[in-house]
Structure 1
Amino acid sequence: MSLLELFCDVDDFMLTFTPQWENSQMQAGKRRKRAGHLCPSEVMTILIHFHQSHYRTFKAYYTEHVQVHLTKEFPHLVSYARFVALMPSMMIPLLAYLHSRYGACTGISFIDATSLVVCDPKRIHQHRVFAVDAKRGKTSMGWFFGFKLHLAVNDRGELLACCLTPGNVDDRTPVAQMVKHLHGKLFGDRGYISAPLSQLLFKQGLQLITKLRKNMKNHLMHISDKLLLRKRAVIESIIDQLKNISQIEHSRHRSPVNFVVHLIAGLLAYSHQGKKQGLHLDERALLAA
């Protein structure tokens, strides 16, 4: 997707969202904000486009690329410091835009969680930015300090739901709330094994399917479910893209709010990706059993 196409899509969404957002702010007693040099659509476009670029830091992207090569596209650019000050106000519009970009449930969904490390474990006691919000957690790769990003995707690689929790939260805790609008079958790893969770999801019309632990008794499983469990790597590939291409994980954050803003923008950048990690399955044949 080109920069122009991205801006048009963002601006079309903001034309619908802005009146509702401003009305809710007025009802909450907040005064109407004065229009700035950059409109919200331009700010959001720049944030999302950064996560589509190959720059490692946003400052380098803004000062070396936007202010040098995109002056015609954004004729009213502000300084880098001013742009950073504008970012927190974009969190709600970005979150609403992300919800509008969610894919449709096909009946075959995958769920997984990944760690978002905010600092090296050796510097935890010196860390200040996320000293209150981040927590120690443990994954199959070892201990970390930061957050967990929980994702649910369909078999086409489209985002269905996401949730951010401290690093010490169990992977199963936010599942019921995340997938309450899904149906069909949900595939996860062994970290989601839970009889109460399976029963709760079954009442919601969703069948949770996971691999068994070594100390668990074997049970019959349809061949299509076994095959789909082997395809669960699709969500792991998506997480790898989010971390290594969209740059949602690094240790250079200076603001908790801007951390969330960049995280949402990274998810949006992936949602605009042309070719996603999909399975190209015949859902009717697989769900017929």
Structure 2
Amino acid sequence: MAKIVSHLDVTQIFCDVDDFCQQFERHCQQYPQLPSILREKRSRSRMSLSEVMTIVIAFHGSGFRTFKDFYTLCVVPHWHKAFPNLVSYNRFVELMPWTLMLLCCFLHTRQGEITGISFIDSTPIEVCHPCRSKSHRVFEGLVGWGKNSMSWHYGFKLHLIINERGELLAFKLTAGNVDDRKPVPDLAKDLIGKLFGDRGYISQPLFEKLFEQGLQLITRYKKNMKQKLVKLIDKILLRKRSLIETVNDQLKNISQIEHSRHRSVWNFLVNLFAGLTAYTYLPKKPSIDLQHKGLPALPPAMF
């Protein structure tokens, strides 16, 4: 198999994906009432779903700007030995939606380690230029208008939680007009320790709800709010919150989870899950050095 596409180890991806698909198939056989997607798909196409998933994930680390160029200029002419049962580009696009459930399940197996230090943020996923929002039909009824510090956007909003190593801990996709604080309880239900966010997550009820489960929400204060003393280590980590913004930037500009060429909801979700999965395979992720994180004995500092 072709060993490297850009910075991703495609051989490792295929081995992990194929092992997961086999385990998933065995699990389906234990519960006959569940449909066996893998078996059904093999009867319709000569390509296995693990092969389709591998190629889709590999695209997000290839450097190609469109999947069509990647498939026709890289996969078809150069990957025949690795994938002897390749199909045409149009047929491959038809196969992609069948991988959606498996991609989602596989992505959850790629989540990082809960270390007690987490960062949360959201980023807009535009589905079209704002001036074309009235004529947009593909995601009609699923998207909404949202506004961040930069401008208005029309589409979805991706909510992420990462640890200090840049590993994904949780994610959720909502419409663009959903408040950042609304999906936090579901996202952080398995987390402990400290969760750092921007001022958009300020909420006393949310703080109390997370605190009950052993998670402390830490944000900066607004200018019109009463300032409080905080530990120095917490103040330092708040300044490192830009780590998750760097992750969002890589997801959009390297993994290409955002573009306006989608023609179906299913392929949009496949593109999103594959992009997030490709990010988990990056050999070097954005991270911060916490060798001095054991500083709780230092005096607290004011914002």
Q: TM-score, normalised by structure 1?
A: 0.95
| Higher mean C-alpha deviation, range 44-53 or range 9-18 | 9-18
State the alpha-carbon separation in 2 of the partners of residues 20 and 140 from structure 1.
46
State the alpha-carbon separation in 2 of the partners of residues 78 and 8 from structure 1.
21
| 8 A contact 1:108–1:283 mirrored in 2 | no
Is 1:2 equivalent to 2:2 in the alignment? no
Once the two structures are TM-superposed, the CA of residue 18 in structure 1 deviates from its matched residue by 2.2
Counting aligned pairs with the same residue, the percent is 55
Aligned residues between the structures: 288
State the alpha-carbon separation in 2 of the partners of residues 65 and 27 from structure 1.
40
Query: Which runs of structure 1 show a deviation greater than 6 angstroms over 4 or more consecutive aligned residues?
Result: none
Q: 1:195 aligns with which of 187, 196, 204?
A: 204
Partner residue in 2 for 1:182? 191
Runs of 5+ unmatched residues, structure 1 = none
Change (3 A) 1:53 1:62: same
Partner residue in 1 for 2:54? 45
State the alpha-carbon separation in 1 of the partners of residues 246 and 35 from structure 2.
44
| 8 A contact 1:110–1:155 mirrored in 2 | yes
Write the deviation string for residues 186-217 of structure 1: whole angstroms up to 9, x where unpaired.
Answer: 00000000000000000011000000001100
Once the two structures are TM-superposed, the CA of residue 282 in structure 1 deviates from its matched residue by 3.4
Runs of 5+ unmatched residues, structure 2 = 1-7, 299-303
Once the two structures are TM-superposed, the CA of residue 15 in structure 1 deviates from its matched residue by 2.0
Partner residue in 2 for 1:91? 100
Q: Secondary structure at the match of 2:229?
A: coil
| Higher mean C-alpha deviation, range 218-227 or range 4-13 | 4-13
Is 1:257 equivalent to 2:263 in the alignment? no
Change (3 A) 1:86 1:29: closer
Q: Secondary structure at the match of 1:147?
A: strand
Partner residue in 2 for 1:248? 257
Partner residue in 1 for 2:169? 160
| 8 A contact 2:28–2:36 mirrored in 1 | no
| Higher mean C-alpha deviation, range 135-144 or range 104-113 | 135-144
Once the two structures are TM-superposed, the CA of residue 22 in structure 1 deviates from its matched residue by 5.5
Once the two structures are TM-superposed, the CA of residue 288 in structure 1 deviates from its matched residue by 7.4
State the alpha-carbon separation in 1 of the partners of residues 108 and 36 from structure 2.
24
Q: Secondary structure at the match of 2:230?
A: coil
Once the two structures are TM-superposed, the CA of residue 17 in structure 1 deviates from its matched residue by 1.9
Once the two structures are TM-superposed, the CA of residue 131 in structure 1 deviates from its matched residue by 1.5
Partner residue in 1 for 2:33? 27
| 8 A contact 2:100–2:270 mirrored in 1 | yes
The amino acid across from 2:57 in the alignment is I
The amino acid across from 1:27 in the alignment is Q
State the alpha-carbon separation in 2 of the partners of residues 13 and 197 from structure 1.
36
| 8 A contact 2:28–2:34 mirrored in 1 | no
| 8 A contact 1:103–1:158 mirrored in 2 | yes
Partner residue in 1 for 2:5? none
| Higher mean C-alpha deviation, range 278-287 or range 173-182 | 278-287
State the alpha-carbon separation in 1 of the partners of residues 109 and 187 from structure 2.
16
Matching of residues 124-273 of structure 1 within 5 Å: 124-273=133-282
State the alpha-carbon separation in 1 of the partners of residues 16 and 297 from structure 2.
37
State the alpha-carbon separation in 1 of the partners of residues 148 and 29 from structure 2.
42
| 8 A contact 2:120–2:161 mirrored in 1 | yes
Once the two structures are TM-superposed, the CA of residue 287 in structure 1 deviates from its matched residue by 6.5
Write the deviation string for residues 82-103 of structure 1: whole angstroms up to 9, x where unpaired.
Answer: 1111111111111111110001
Please tell me the root mean square deviation across aligned C-alpha atoms, in Å.
1.7
Change (3 A) 1:260 1:195: same
Q: Secondary structure at the match of 2:157?
A: strand
Is 1:12 equivalent to 2:15 in the alignment? no
The amino acid across from 1:185 in the alignment is K
